[in-house]
Amino acid sequence: MKTKLNRRDFLKVGALIAAPMIVPAKVLGRGGFVAPSERIVLGGLGVGNRGRSDLSWMMAEKDVQFVADCDIQKGRRELVKKMVDEHYGNTDCKLYSDMHEFLNTRPDIDALLVATGDRWHAMAAIYTMRAGKDLYCEKPSCMTIADGRAVVETAKRTGRVYQTGTQRLSMAPFVVAQELAQSGRLGKIHTLRAHIAPWDAAKMRTDWLPEEPLPTKEECDWDTWLGPCPWRPYNKTYVGGGWRGHYDFHTSCIGEWGAHTFAQCQAGIGLTNTAAIKYHYVNNESGDGMVTEFANGMKMVLQRGGWRGSCGNRFEGTEGWAACADGYSQPDVSSPALLADQRKIITDYQARTGRSLSHVRDFFDCVKSRRRTVANEEVMHYSMTTVHAANICMWLGRDLTYDPVKEQFINDPEADRYLTRAHRQPWVS
């Protein structure tokens, strides 16, 4: 059957063909927008109070689009959706309660923000990397030395980009202190001081909180909340953050801030690829004053005090010292002359390393370039090894010697039993 076009219809068709296509600027990456092909599609796993702070920094990056969150607690995932939808001005953020469904049905997601409680960090990282996604994982990133090693091996096998949330490795005042130590301007470094949290104890609780009625699985999936940890009766205090200070779920006051400060100290002396070898027991509840030693003879002292802010570290050398903590606009130093060229110190650091002074930006840059992050899986593992060995020293109440190559204690089967913990089925690696 033939179709007849009159002159008016013919002219309309011709005009449509000749008219230029109007493509939104954001599709082309113009006008301050980033083209979709250049965007990193981001999801979240277990994003609570701390995670929402991370997320606010991440969504500020123009080449990042947050699209979905998974959490076993209904209230938390709904808070994330509200935050995300308000930021983008839409209702597009998708929610999930099952981690495996989330990981296995969203191939569009490039990377995850993992901000669960401590007990889940290592296992969530392993599952995420196996699903083919890069991740930014909050600290402390493993509960045992064996779990840290498992994260390292998984990153190696999968080729995924990993960043742990020790953000002070990317903050200018801390970087200046580290550069002063590494450059030799403090002389030969002999002593490091690492801040540990001034609350809780190294010797944690092993009792259980009283059992309370279980909420619905939709409100809080308690079995998944526990994950690889031993079964414990439900108590709302746990899910409200009261898991800290309990052996089953926490890494003690040493791990709480040591996850940051040990990494900061080890970065400043170029020992991010090893752990301390000697741990000297101190007879108190916290580990305050414990002296650890590295193979090169440098000592790192665990301290609760000595800074004006949190998560401080200090480098002491034969020619001077430098210290930094949260809230410092620049390091405290033994001589003002050490800071006369601090801008140049930062400029030289960035030129040499190509690093951003934003921890999340360093992660996203590495997602695109496929280089290793400033707080990559090995930096995490070896600093956390020092954390765990210090804890074990406190738990056993005696000095210990550790071999960071074999990743076991020397002639000490009792200490070796703490290298790993049994994982509850089916939450195994």
pLDDT at residue 65 greater than cutoff 50? yes
Residues paired with 315 in a beta bridge = 192, 322
Tens digits of per-residue pLDDT, 235-246? 999 999 999 999
- Give the confidence band of 376 by pLDDT, cuts at 50, 70, 90: very high
- Give the confidence band of 28 by pLDDT, cuts at 50, 70, 90: very low
For residue 161, CA distances in Å to 55, 230, 353 come to 18, 30, 17
Q: Which of 31-40, 180-189, 306-315, 413-422 is predicted with the least confidence, judged by mean pLDDT?
A: 31-40
Q: Find how far residue 108's CA is from the centre of its chain.
A: 23
pLDDT at residue 33 greater than cutoff 70? no
| Percent of the chain clearing pLDDT 90 (strictly above) | 91
Measured CA to CA, the distance from residue 319 to residue 342 in angstroms comes to 18
pLDDT at residue 14 greater than cutoff 70? no
Measured CA to CA, the distance from residue 335 to residue 340 in angstroms comes to 10
The pLDDT of residue 1? 43
Sign of the Cα torsion 89, 90, 92, 95 reads: positive
pLDDT at residue 26 greater than cutoff 70? no
pLDDT at residue 371 greater than cutoff 70? yes
pLDDT at residue 22 greater than cutoff 90? no
Tell me the average pLDDT across 399-423. 98
Mean predicted lDDT score pLDDT of the chain: 94
Instruction: Confirm or reject CATH 3.40.50.720 for domain 27-167, answering yes or no.
Output: yes
Domain covering 168-203+250-357+377-416: architecture = 2-Layer Sandwich (3.30)
- Give the confidence band of 30 by pLDDT, cuts at 50, 70, 90: low
The pLDDT of residue 34? 79
pLDDT at residue 428 greater than cutoff 80? yes
The pLDDT of residue 130? 98
- Give the confidence band of 36 by pLDDT, cuts at 50, 70, 90: confident
pLDDT at residue 10 greater than cutoff 50? no
Burial of 405 (C-beta count, 10 Å sphere; 0-12/13-18/19+): exposed
Query: Amino acid letter at 403?
Result: D
Instruction: State which H helix or E strand residue 40 sits in.
Output: strand 40-45
pLDDT at residue 286 greater than cutoff 60? yes
pLDDT at residue 188 greater than cutoff 70? yes
Tens digits of per-residue pLDDT, 264-285? 999 999 999 999 999 999 999 9
Tens digits of per-residue pLDDT, 82-132? 999 999 999 999 999 999 999 999 999 999 999 999 999 999 999 999 999
Alpha-helical regions (H) of 164-319:
172-183, 222-226, 236-237, 252-268
The pLDDT of residue 24? 52
Is 33 strand, coil or helix? coil
The pLDDT of residue 207? 96
Tell me the average pLDDT across 24-29. 51
**Using the 8-state DSSP alphabet, how is residue 300 labeled?**
E
Q: Which of 299, 396, 346, 298 is nearest to 180 (CA)?
A: 346
Please report, for the chain, the start and end positions of each structural domain, with discontinuous segments joined by +.
27-167, 168-203+250-357+377-416
Tell me the average pLDDT across 74-87. 98
> Matching CATH topology for 27-167 and 168-203+250-357+377-416?
no
Measured CA to CA, the distance from residue 330 to residue 347 in angstroms comes to 15
The pLDDT of residue 16? 47
Measured CA to CA, the distance from residue 99 to residue 93 in angstroms comes to 16
